[in-house]
Amino acid sequence: MFINLSNHKKSNNINEKVTFMKIILVAGARPNFPKIAPILKELENKTDIETILVHTGQHYDSNMSDVFFKELGIREPDINLGIRGNQAEQTAQIIEKFDKLVEEQKPDLAIVVGDVTSTLACAIVCAKRKIKLAHIEAGLRSFNYEMPEEINRIVTDVLSNYLFVTEESGIQNLIRQGIPSNKISFVGHVMIDTLIQNIEKAKNLQTWRELNLTNQGYAIMTLHRPQNVDDSENLQKAVDITIEISKKIQLVWPIHPRTKANLEKFNMLKQLEEANIKIIEPQGYLEFLNLVMHAKFIVTDSGGVQEETTYLRLPCLTLRDETERPITVDVGTNTVTGLNKRLILAKVTEILTGTYKKGAMPPLWDGFASKRIVDTLLKKNENAN
Ligand code: UDP
């Protein structure tokens, strides 16, 4: 376990009458980093709060982790738990190491984001240690219990004291789960805060040109959900769909390490290469955003990408049978297609002929979610003292 507590902020203004709060923020995997960045910045601006940034080490490749810290201006983690292994091993290691950390540091509050293994494991520790817990992006439900993320969401929400919701469906899901309404705050989306804060920087990049792409002349594919990439039959279906789409438009595919390993294992990479699909490494946040901004549409099974494309008004086809983010379908630019090739190709035709839906902006996706979260937490802390 790597510990570097020299750079986390302490209040040194002894004249200031403040309620001092020590907060641990947890991040572990790629989708967590754009979510913690704006919250951490907001907390770092407060003199009465000490923050400890914990990286569990769940994602450790430089293009899945370091690049996000650099590009999003997230400071070096104060503690890296350095966990490794499969999901069960990761959960066990995080519980053991995070428990020791919490015992030593005695925080007033821990903040977890999203639905990854790290979110769940740290939530369990906090509940057992009676540390107040805030869950950012609470209440999302796919109702597909085969998704590891759905289990992580349900357990984390049940154990949380403060639940911050990104879209209104989340409020209903939590109430149905028996969560008291005074624990729930509808605040908008921290991931959209990050997108808004970084869009100008991303615009200045030339990633799409460097890849010899033409503006609006390509589509992007991202795929990493276990149900799509671990099962060879489903992965072959996704590959077939990709090849069909690439007959209509150039496709670029930044490949997630898990997907790459499985394409290699099942001998499918060659089919993609033969179809002239641009297979590239996972992109940094800004580079990916640059590619997205110049693309015609996206085909994905990512959670965050469904939301980012809704914000950007870019068509998104989601290769899953359901979404835990229904606002992106009801209001935004998303269509849930599963691996239904006919439906996907029909939607691609709509997009290419300009008849696909245009989408609108979900409520409170305005760049101020992290401010609302920190204000709410401070108020709740004040009321509790
Ligand atoms: N992303 C990225 N580079 C890529 C692919 C995705 O920066 O090559 C970003 C994307 O913009 C979003 C986040 O990663 O902010 C989503 O992560 P991911 O799809 O891994 O997880 P999910 O949202 O499905 O949990």
Segment 100-109 shows an average pLDDT of 97
pTM: 0.95
Residue type, 189: H
Query: pLDDT tens for residues 152-209?
Result: 999 999 999 999 999 999 999 999 999 999 999 999 999 999 999 999 999 999 999 9
Ligand 1 contact, 359 CB (< 6 A): no
Whether the pLDDT of residue 44 is over 70: the answer is: yes
**Ligand 1 centroid to residue 65 C-alpha, Å:** 11
Tell me the domains of the chain and their CATH numbers.
2-189+365-384 (3.40.50.2000), 198-353 (3.40.50.2000)
Ligand 1 contact, 220 CB (< 6 A): no
The rounded distance, in Å, linking the Cα atoms of 107 and 212 is 50
Query: pLDDT tens for residues 258-303?
Result: 999 999 999 999 999 999 899 999 999 999 999 999 999 999 999 9
Residue identifier of the C-alpha nearest atom 21 of ligand 1: 31
**Ligand 1 centroid to residue 30 C-alpha, Å:** 6
- 14 or 103: which leads in pLDDT: 103
- Ligand 1 pocket test: pick from 36, 227, 288 the residue with the most ligand atoms within 8 Å of its Cβ: 288
Ligand 1 contact, 57 CB (< 6 A): no
Q: What is the DSSP letter of 20?
A: -
Ligand 1 contact, 33 CB (< 6 A): no
Backbone angles phi, psi at 2, to 5 degrees: -90, 125
* pLDDT of 385: 75
Ligand 1 contact, 137 CB (< 6 A): no
**Ligand 1 centroid to residue 50 C-alpha, Å:** 29
Closest C-alpha among 298, 332, 300 to residue 318: 300
Segment 120-128 shows an average pLDDT of 98
What band does 11 get if pLDDT is binned at 50, 70 and 90? Answer: very low
Burial (CB count <10 Å: 0-12, 13-18, 19+), residue 104: exposed
Query: pLDDT tens for residues 71-86?
Result: 999 999 999 999 999 9
Atom of ligand 1 nearest to the CA of 225: 24
* pLDDT of 9: 54
The rounded distance, in Å, linking the Cα atoms of 187 and 32 is 17
**Ligand 1 centroid to residue 356 C-alpha, Å:** 24
What DSSP line would sit under 282-307, residue for residue?
PPPHHHHHHHHHT-SEEEE--HHHHH
Ligand 1 contact, 28 CB (< 6 A): no
* pLDDT of 20: 86
Ligand 1 contact, 188 CB (< 6 A): no
- 382 or 1: which leads in pLDDT: 382
Ligand 1 contact, 288 CB (< 6 A): yes
Ligand 1 contact, 305 CB (< 6 A): yes
Sheet holding 79-80, edge to edge: 2-3, 79-80, 49-55, 21-27, 109-113, 132-138, 162-165, 184-186
Residue identifier of the C-alpha nearest atom 13 of ligand 1: 31
Whether the pLDDT of residue 238 is over 90: the answer is: yes
**Ligand 1 centroid to residue 31 C-alpha, Å:** 5
The rounded distance, in Å, linking the Cα atoms of 349 and 353 is 6
Atom of ligand 1 nearest to the CA of 282: 8
Ligand 1 contact, 325 CB (< 6 A): no
Q: Strand, coil or helix: what is 161?
A: coil
Query: pLDDT tens for residues 343-376?
Result: 999 999 999 999 999 999 999 999 999 999 999 9
Atom of ligand 1 nearest to the CA of 222: 5
Atom of ligand 1 nearest to the CA of 254: 8
Average predicted confidence (pLDDT) for the chain: 95
Backbone angles phi, psi at 135, to 5 degrees: -110, 120
Residue 224 designated active-site: yes
Atom of ligand 1 nearest to the CA of 289: 11
55, 59, 135, 224: which one is catalytic? 224
Residue that the structure tokens 């009458």 belong to: 17
Ligand 1 contact, 254 CB (< 6 A): yes
* pLDDT of 8: 55
Atom of ligand 1 nearest to the CA of 29: 20
Query: pLDDT tens for residues 312-342?
Result: 999 999 999 999 999 999 999 999 999 999 9
